[in-house]
Chains A and B, each alone.
Chain A
Amino acid sequence: MKKPEFMANGDASADVIVVGSGVVGGMIADQLVSQGYSVLVLEAGLRIERAQAVENWRNMPFENRAGSDYQGLYPQSENAPAPLYFPENNYVHLTGPSASSFKQGYLRTVGGTTWHWAASCWRHTPNDFKMKTLYGVGRDWPISYDELEPYYCRAEEEIGVAGPNDPALQSPSERSKPYPMEQVPYGYGDTRFAEVVNPHGYRSVPIPQGRSTRPWNGRPTCCGNNNCQPICPIGAMYNGIAHVERAENKGAVVLAEAVVYKIDTDENNNVTAVHWLDNQKQSHKATGKVFALACNGIETPRLLLMAANEKNPNGIANSSDHVGRNMMDHSGFHCTFIAQEPLWIGRGPAQSSCLVGPRDGDFRKDYSANKMILNNINRVIPATSQALQMGLVGKELDEEIRRRSIYGVDLSISLEPLPDPDNRLTLSATRKDPHGLPCPDIHYDVGDYVRKGAEAAHKQLEHIGQLFMADEFNITTSLNANNHIMGGTIMGSDPKDSVVNGECRAHDHANLWLPGGGAIPSSSVVNSTLTMAALGLKAADDMAKKLAGAA
C-alpha cells in the first residue's frame, strides 16, 4: 500500500494528485491506487456522513422540501461555498438572456454531487458523437461511440447500474455487455403511461439507474423510499463516496477543506505542483507526477482560469481561449397535468421511465432533441400545496390531496443546447469567496436551437395531454437547470479550439487531465454522469500509461 508523503509543514507528494472527490475524482483515485500508485485527493468541501444528510432532510422546513431544495441540507465549508438558493447566495453570478436557466445545484463535499443525484445512468447514442457530420450543428467528438463503449461498460460495473436487458427497451441498444443488474421494475404508472403513449411513437423505456434491484457488492436493494434526492437513506443508490472510501481503504489520502488555487508548471509546461489553502487559510503544496482536475463543470474551468501563471497567462490549459466557454446544461422544463385516470405516480425510486422517441432523428438538423422523464417523485407535496391554495380544510383537504397525488403527472423535459463559445464562464472582478478567490460569472443563452426544440416538445406534450384527457395541463414557460454541467473544458482534436483530447488530457500539458462533464462536446439530452464516469475511467487508463512511462 503506497501512500502519499507529508512533510512537517503540511506539504505533500504523491504519484497522483486528484483535485475533486466526486464520482470522477473518486473513481480515478480508486483506479490508480489499485494499481499501486500513491494517490492524494484534495477536496474543497467538508466531509459529511450519510446519516447527517438524512437527519438534516428530516429537519428541513416544508417550504424547502416543496421547493426541492436539495442543496441546503448539505453542510457547507465556510471557505468554499456551493451555490445555494434558499435564499440565494449568488456564489455564481448569472447574466445573459437565459441567466435564470443556469442555476446549477452542485455540492462541494467529499463524495460530490452524486450524494443527491437521481442516479440516471444513460449513455449518449452513437449519433450524439457525430452532430456536425450528421446534422451540421454543434461539434463532433474526437472519439467515437465505439471507442467509449468499453468504458461505458466499465462505468456501469463500477456504479452498479440496473437497466433493461431487452434491446427493444435500451437507448441506445449498441452494447457489448449486459447491464450488471436487471432493470428497476415498472410501477403501475409507468406501465399505464407506456400503454397510452407508445402507439404514438413516444417510446417509453426504463431509465438505466445506479441503484440496486438486488443486493449488489454489499449494497442493499432499493426499497422505494422515493427519497433519492436529496439522499438515499439506506445506501441502495450509488454515491461517489463509495469510490472515495474504497480508494481510502486501499491507501489513498483524501484531504477535505483543501481549496486548490494555484498550479505550477515547468519549462515543458508539465504541471509540477498544485497549491491549496486549508481551513486555517494556510497554503500548502502538493507535488506529483500526474494531475487530474475533476472539480465539476464550473469549478474546474474556474480553477484553470484563476491559476494563470507566467507561462500560461490566460489560465492553465487555455492556449485555445476555450476554457470556460461552451457552457451547457440540459436546460429543460416541466409539464404537469391531472389525468382522467389514477396513475399512482411515486412508487419506487425517484426515477423510473422516460420517453425517448424524440431523442434522435433528422429533425436535429433544425432543432433540439428532447427526452421526457415521467417524474416518479411522489406527488404528495405539490398536491398538498395546491389543495391548501384551494382553501380546503378537514376531510375535503385530505381527499383533494389524495386525488391530486393519485391522478397527478409531472413530466421533466430535457433539451439539448449546442456548444456556443459565447456561453462563457469568467472570473468575477469584484466578488471573492472567503479565501479571497474570485467567484465565477456565467453568461448563458440557450439559443434558438433549444427554443425551437422546446416548441416542438410543447406540441408533443399537448398531444400526450390529450391522450390522458388532461385537466390543469400546464407547461412551465421558463427553462430550468438540470445540473448537468458540460462544455467548459471542451474536448476536441484541434488544440486551437478545444481544451482536452479524447483522453481528457489537456492539449497544453502532457501530465494534466481534466475529466468529467467539462470535456463533453455534445450534450445529448441525457444525464451526463455515466458519460463523465466513462471519460474518467478512460483518463485513468491514460494516466496509468503515462505513469508507466508509455505515453
Chain B
Amino acid sequence: MKMMTLKGMGLALFGVMLHTAAHADDTQAELARQGKLVATDADCQACHTNPEGGKPFAGGYAIHSPMGTIFTTNITPSKPFGIGNYTEEQFARAVREGVRPDGKNLYPAMPYTSYSHMSDADIKAMYVYFQQDVKPVESPTEETALPFPFNMRIAMAGWNMMYLDSTPFKPDASKSAEWNRGAYLVNGAGHCDTCHTPRNLMMGSVTDKPLAGGMVGPWYAPNISSDPVSGIGNWSQAQLVEYLKTGRTAGKNQAAGAMAEAVQNSLQYMPDEDLNAIAFYLKNSTPVRDPADKQSADTFGKPLNVEEGLRGAHPANANNTLNSGAALFSGYCASCHQPDGSGSKNQAYPSLYHNTATGLGNASNLISAILYGVDRKVGDTHAFMPKFGEGSYVGQLNDQQIADISNYVLTHYGNAAIQVNAHDVAVLRAGGPVTLLAKLQPYMAPAMVAGVVILLLLIFWLGRKRQRAKS
C-alpha cells in the first residue's frame, strides 16, 4: 500500500513535471511565433537573406553603401558561423546598440539606430525565434572590408555617440494606443525612419526633419510626414494602408526599389491593426514642408497623346529616328503606359500622371524605375516592369535616352519644373549620389594618421557637444 502510494505520488509528480515542461514548450513556441512576427516587422530577411537564392537568414548579401560594400552576416543559430552562441543579452546588444559580442561595432547599415527603440519583450521573442525556429546554415559569409578609414569599426563608437539615440521607446500617455503602436513601428521595429528621415554629411539622421525624405542608393525615400504638400497629408488612412499592404495605391504611387522589398518581405504580412497604426501615426506626425514644394506630388499632369506629332513623320523603314523623348516614350513606354500616359484600365500598368514618381521634386524614382525596373511580389500578384539599364531584356538605354524619356514624362505627365540630364542618370546608374564622407575617402588614406586623429577628435568633440546639448 505504502509502496503503491509512493509509486502513485511518483507518477503524479512526474505528471506535474511533464505538464510544466509542456507548458514551458508552449511558452517557447508562443514566443517563437511572436518573434517571427517581430522579425517580419523588422524585415531582417531584407538584408540577411540573399535574394539571389540565399538560404533564409544566412547573410552574404552585398549592401553597396556609399562607404563601400558591406556583407550582411549569418544570423541563423549556427554556432561557428551564426548567432548560435549569442546569449539573449548579446543578441539584444547587437540589435539595439550595434555591438557584437566580441565588442566590435556593426556598421549602421544595420538599422540599430531604429531597433534601439525595440522593447525587451520583442527582442526576447525574436531571440527565441532565431535560436529555436530558424534552421542553422553552417557556412561563413564574406568578410566586410571597407576601405580605410571606414574599416576602423571603432570609429562607429564615436558615430554612435553622435547619432545613436539608445533610449528605449516610451509610450506617450497623452496619445492613443494606436498612435503609440504606430510610433513604435515607424521609429523602432519597422524602421521606416531609417530610410525616410534624411541623413547629413556624416550619414547621421537629421532629427529635426523626421520622415522628411532622403536618398537611399539610387532611389528617393519620399517625405512621409503628415504635410499635405510635401508629405502624405493628402492620402487617406485607407490609401496608406492599401499602399503598405499591396505596394500600390492608384492615383498615388507604386512601390519600387527598397520599398517594394519592404512590402514584399515585411509589410504585406503585418496585421491590419499594425498597418493602421503606422498610417495613423504618419497622418499625425509632425508636418515637414520643403519650401520648394508648391503642389503635392500626386496632383501633377494630365493625359496627352504622344501619337500626335509622331505618326507619319518618318518612312516605315526609317532608322535612327528615335531622337526625341516623345519618340522614345512612344517606342518603349507607350505600349504599357498607353500613348496618353494614362496606364492600363485596371492600373496594373500605372498612370504616369497623378503619380508621385513623376510629381516629386526629386526625379530619382522616375529615373531609377526606368534604369532598374519595378519588381514586387505581393500575395499572388507579381508587379513587374522590366529594367532598361544594363542587362535589360527589352532594351538597354543609354543615359541620354533615359534623360530624354524622363524629361518627356516630367513635362507632360509630372512635375514640369523638374528637368534632368544624362549626368543625373549616370549618377543613379552608378548606384546613387555619393556622400561627402565617401567622396573624402581617397584623401583620407594619404592623410593617414593625422586624418584619423582629426576625424576621431572631431567625432569625439561633436559627440560631447551633443551629449551636453541633450543634458
Contact surface of A with B, Cβ cutoff 8 Å: 46, 48-52, 54-61, 64, 72-76, 214-215, 217-221, 223, 225, 233-235, 242, 245-246, 249
Contact = CB atoms under 8 A, between A and B. Distances in A.
Interface of B: 310-322, 327-328, 330-332, 335-336, 373, 375, 382, 384-387, 390-396
A215 B316 contact: no
Contacts of A217: 393
B394 A50 contact: yes
B261 to A, nearest CB: 15
A235 B386 contact: yes
B321 A55 contact: yes
Contact of B395 (A49, A58, A60, A223): A49
Contacts of A49: 322, 395
B316 A72 contact: yes
Contacts of A50: 331-332, 394-395
Contact of A218 (B314, B320, B335, B393): B393
Contact of A48 (B319, B373, B375): B319
Max chain B C-beta neighbours (<10 A), residue from A55, A73, A217:
A55
Contacts of B330: 51, 54-55, 58
Contacts of A215: 375, 382, 384
Contacts of B321: 52, 55
Contacts of A48: 319
A57 B334 CA distance: 14
A72 B317 contact: yes
20 contacts: A49-B322, A50-B331, A50-B395, A51-B327, A51-B330, A51-B331, A51-B395, A56-B316, A58-B311, A58-B330, A59-B311, A59-B312, A72-B317, A75-B317, A218-B373, A219-B394, A220-B386, A225-B335, A235-B392, A235-B394
Contact of B318 (A54, A56, A64, A218): A56
A420 B391 CA distance: 43
Given A75-B319, A218-B391, 10 more contacts: A48-B319, A55-B318, A59-B311, A59-B313, A59-B314, A215-B382, A220-B384, A235-B392, A235-B393, A235-B394
Nearest to B307: A58
Contact of A249 (B318, B332, B391): B391
B376 to A, nearest CB: 10
A235 B335 CA distance: 11
A214 B384 CA distance: 9
Nearest to A64: B316
Given A50-B331, A225-B335, A235 B318 contact: no
A238 to B, nearest CB: 9
Nearest to A55: B331
A218 to B, nearest CB: 4
B317 A73 contact: yes
B209 to A, nearest CB: 37
A56 B390 CA distance: 25
Contact of B336 (A51, A223, A249): A223
Given A55-B310, A214-B382, A234-B394, A60 B316 contact: yes
Contact of B390 (A219, A234, A249): A249
B396 A245 contact: yes
A290 B391 CA distance: 27
A379 B332 CA distance: 26
Q: Ordered nearest first, which 10 A-B pairs have the shortest CB separation? A: A51-B331, A235-B394, A75-B319, A233-B335, A215-B384, A60-B316, A219-B393, A218-B393, A54-B331, A59-B316
A214 B375 CA distance: 12
A379 to B, nearest CB: 21
Contact of A234 (B335, B375, B382): B335
Contacts of B322: 49, 51-52, 55
Contacts, number: 99
B318 A220 contact: no
Contacts of A46: 319
A221 B383 CA distance: 10
Nearest to B331: A51
A51 B401 CA distance: 12
B378 to A, nearest CB: 13
Nearest to A216: B393
Nearest to B349: A223
B392 A218 contact: yes
A73 B313 CA distance: 14
B316 A221 contact: no
A164 B336 CA distance: 27
Contacts of B394: 50, 219-220, 234-235
Contacts of A56: 314, 316-318
A347 B17 CA distance: 68
A214 B396 CA distance: 21
Contacts of B328: 51
A122 to B, nearest CB: 23
B226 to A, nearest CB: 35
A259 to B, nearest CB: 17
A299 B81 CA distance: 58
Nearest to B392: A218
Contacts of B375: 215
Contacts of B392: 218, 235
Contacts of B311: 58-59
A154 B78 CA distance: 37
Nearest to B382: A215
Contacts of B313: 59
A219 B392 CA distance: 8
B316 A51 contact: no
A57 B311 CA distance: 10
Given A48-B319, A75-B318, A55 B384 contact: no
Contacts of A55: 310, 314, 318, 321-322, 327, 330-331
A415 B301 CA distance: 55
A54 B396 contact: no
A274 B102 CA distance: 64
A87 to B, nearest CB: 13
Contacts of B385: 220
Contacts of A64: 316
A73 B315 CA distance: 9
Given A218-B391, A235-B386, A54 B315 contact: no
A74 B317 contact: yes
A52 B331 CA distance: 7
A92 B310 CA distance: 34
Contacts of B393: 217-220, 235, 242
Nearest to B395: A50
B337 to A, nearest CB: 11
A219 B332 CA distance: 14
B386 A219 contact: yes
B395 A235 contact: yes
Nearest to B314: A59
Contacts of A223: 336
Max chain B C-beta neighbours (<10 A), residue from A57, A72, A218, A225:
A218
Given A51-B395, A55-B331, A235-B395, A218 B387 contact: yes
A72 B392 CA distance: 26
Nearest to A69: B316
Nearest to A56: B316
A211 B386 CA distance: 14
Contacts of B387: 218
A242 B393 CA distance: 6
Contacts of A219: 386, 393-394
A52 B319 contact: yes
A58 B375 CA distance: 29
B308 to A, nearest CB: 13
